[in-house]
Each structure stands twice: as C-alpha cells, then as structure tokens.
Structure 1
C-alpha cells in the first residue's frame, strides 16, 4: 500500500510540474501579446487550457503567479554557493568583468524577449496592484543578485547598482518604444553596442577606484578555482 501511495504522490507531483509549466508559458504569451496591463487569470487559464481554479490553487491568483514567474530564475539567475565561489574574482581587476557581464547579459535577454521587457515596465505602471507586485518581486530579485555578485565591502554597491540598472531599465523601455537617447538609436545593434561599451567603461572605472581606495575591500578567491561559465 505504501508503494502505491508513493507512486500516486509522484504522479501528482509530475502532473503539477507539467501544469505549472503550461501556466507559465501561457503567462509569457499573454504578456507578450497584451502587455502586463492585459494580463488576467481568465486569459492565462484559457491560453494554458486549464481551469482558472488551478491558478488560484497553485499561486493564489494572478499576483502570486507573476511573483512566482519573476522569482523562478528565468529573468534573474539564482547562483548556488558553489557557483558563487567559482565566480568570485581571482584578481582585483576581475571585479569589473563580473559586474558588466551580468548587466550586459541580463539586458540582452530583456531586449530579445518581449515578455521580459514588459515585466521591467512594471515599475512605471501606476495604480495597478499587479504591476506593484511584479515590481516588488523584481526589486527583491535584483537586490539578491547585486548582493550575491558585489564581492565588495566598504562601498555603496546598492546605490551604484540602482543608478546603472535604473538607466538600463529606462533605455530598454525607450528602445521598445522606438525612441532615441542623446541621438543614440536604441533600436539598432550599433546603438546598443555603444551602451554596452559605456557600461564596461563605468564598471572598469569603479573597479579601479575600489582598488585604490583604503576604505574598500575586495573579496577575492582564497584558492584557484575554475571560472564558471555564466
């Protein structure tokens, strides 16, 4: 009887995982088609071909589903302790590479994936509970990511990251709306190559400033570990 119950539980678990994946994929499609403002339980349930009762049962509603989506690791990577140890800089000058690579990779993904671009617009949508929940989940994930990858003590990494990430969010939204910034065509690859080069320049300069500062301490690897590909 115990074996039968275990098999039944495993089947239920697999079905839930598959259903959750369908719901998440449906959510992405609805966001891409209608934007965050057009998202609703009925639309997602219809797209996923599931009862809306399941969305409430699994996630508590649309706000819970969006929070789950933002935090599932697809938009913002979740690093294990082992990976973080591998990413940790070996030399003082390696810190800049860690910072600018993560920013550039993240926003390349946002620019190529419409649902992700719509998610970052949540912070500029006013008087909307779904947007507020989504923006809060984003901020929690970005705070976690900045904390994991700072590898610096004695500097206000949060404020520095807020300026850079805020600018990248804004530029990404401007690009989606076919706008320019200081005459840079944000719709073009050439324009974004210039933005990415500027991000590299900023972080390299910050890295040099950190190295020369007596108040700042860089957290380096204590042993030579293989550099993770991320």
Structure 2
C-alpha cells in the first residue's frame, strides 16, 4: 500500500514538472516550437516517460488544456453555489467568467500561445490543442448558461470568439476600431462592453416567454469567483 502511494506521489510530481516545462517551452518558442525532446530536456526526464504518461505531445497538450488552469473545472457543489438566486444575477455570472478567463490569457504568455492554436493551419498538434480548447469552452458554457430556450452556444461563440481574437491581436501589438489593446484603458473599454452585452441579454431573457432561467431553489451563498 505504501509503495503504491509512493509511486502515485512520484508520478504526480513528475507530471507537474513536465507541465511546468511545457509552459516554459511554449512561452519561449510558441506552440509551433514545442516538441517532446524540448519538453523532456527542460523537465529533465526521458522523452519515453512523456509517451508513457501522455501518449506523446498531442496528449500532453490536451491534458494541459483540460487540467483546469485555462478553464475552471466546476464540480456540482460549486455549480450549486454559483447558480443565480435572482433573474438579474445571470448576467454577472456570464460576464465575470468571460472577463476573468481572458484576463488570465492576456497576462500569461503560455496561455496566449495556446489560444493561438485555433488559427494555426495544417498542424496536427495545433488541431488537437484547438479541439481540446473548444471542448473545454463548450463544457463551461453548458455548465454556466443557467438558461433554457435560448441559443447560448451561438451567443457564446460570438462573444468568446471575439475575445479570443482581440487577445491574439493584443499580443501582436494591434488595435481594433482604434482601441489600443495593449493598454489597460483599452481592455477596460472591452470589458465594459462585455458587461453591457450580457446585461442586455439577461434583460431579453427575463422578458422572453420562450426563455427560462435556472435559479437556485434554496438561498445558498453565491460563490465569489
């Protein structure tokens, strides 16, 4: 029993070291410069170990995207706390998650490089990474929609797609409609626009006869995240 526990702990530590090495390589070279040899060298492990644990670079990147650093993994208990108490709470849940997620992408270079996977063509590793991102975004949207009768997937695709594109533009020192995406002032304007969009959508949902909001049945404390 003790031996099995020691093996488990050693594997967890090695996995963490490999993930940290992956982040460093991505930050240094971008997603297109990542390879098993480079990550193994950075982590000071055999590349055989990476294949054994993850099946290769694509498996490692998929693991990284889905481990909860880029997109939060919300268990049922947390979701119950997040679930809105009042109809007007839904907008706050939506815009907070969007703003927090993309603040993280903007401040963490490895995460920004991962975000760029969706625009890299003819690259199996980028395709796997982009697919894993889409699966995580889809999961998060489904968990946090708290709405029935509205096309939350399409709405989220427009908003999250725009935020992803703007984040990539910011990394490349670009502007959008004259807004400086490298400045805090510019992003404050973007975040205020996101808030306004979701508040308006929330009002439309409340007024619609076809849309139902999934509210808390008990007065549970709303988690602050």
SS at match of 1:226: coil
Partner of 2:215: 220
Partner of 1:105: 100
Partner of 1:153: 148
Pick from 49, 54, 66 the counterpart of residue 71 of structure 1.
Answer: 66
Please list the CA deviations of residues 26-65 of structure 1 after superposition, one character each: whole Å capped at 9, or x if unmatched. Answer: 0000000000000000000000000000000000000000
5+ residue gaps, structure 2, are none
5+ residue gaps, structure 1, are 1-5
The answer to whether the aligner puts 1:14 opposite 2:45 as a matched pair is no
Partner of 1:178: 173
- List 4+ stretches of structure 1 deviating above 6 A: none
CA shift, 1:227, in A, is 1.1
CA distance in 2, matches of 1:118, 1:14: 30
Please list the CA deviations of residues 68-119 of structure 1 after superposition, one character each: whole Å capped at 9, or x if unmatched. Answer: 0000011000111011011000000000000000000000000000000000
CA distance in 2, matches of 1:111, 1:100: 16
The answer to whether the aligner puts 1:189 opposite 2:181 as a matched pair is no
SS at match of 1:191: helix
What aligned pairs does 1:134-153 form with structure 2 within 5 A after superposition? Answer: 134-153=129-148
TM-score normalised according to structure 1 size: 0.97
CA distance in 1, matches of 2:215, 2:153: 19
Partner of 2:120: 125
Pick from 132, 135, 159 the counterpart of residue 164 of structure 1.
Answer: 159
The answer to whether the aligner puts 1:229 opposite 2:211 as a matched pair is no
CA shift, 1:9, in A, is 0.8
The size of the alignment, in residue pairs, is 225
Pick from 90, 100, 104 the counterpart of residue 95 of structure 1.
Answer: 90
SS at match of 2:69: coil
Aligned CA RMSD, in angstroms, stands at 0.4
